[in-house]
Amino acid sequence: MEYRDLKKKTKLTHIDRDGLPAMVDVSAKAVTARSATAECRVRFPAAVAAQLRKSRLKSAKGGIVETAIVAGTMAAKRTHELIPFCHPLPIDGCRIGIGWHGERELRIECTVKTAHRTGVEMEALTGATIAALTVYDMCKALSHAIVLGPAKLRGKSGGKRDFGAKD
CA-to-CA distance for 59 and 141, rounded, in angstroms?
A: 10
Whether 137 sits among the annotated catalytic residues: the reply is yes
CA-to-CA distance for 122 and 128, rounded, in angstroms?
A: 10
Catalytic residue among 5, 137, 162, 167: 137
Which DSSP state fits 30? P
Residue 37 half-sphere exposure toward CB, CA atoms < 13 A = 15
> How far, in Å, are 5, 12, 43, 146, 162 from residue 127 at the CA level?
34, 24, 18, 19, 20
Active site residues: 137
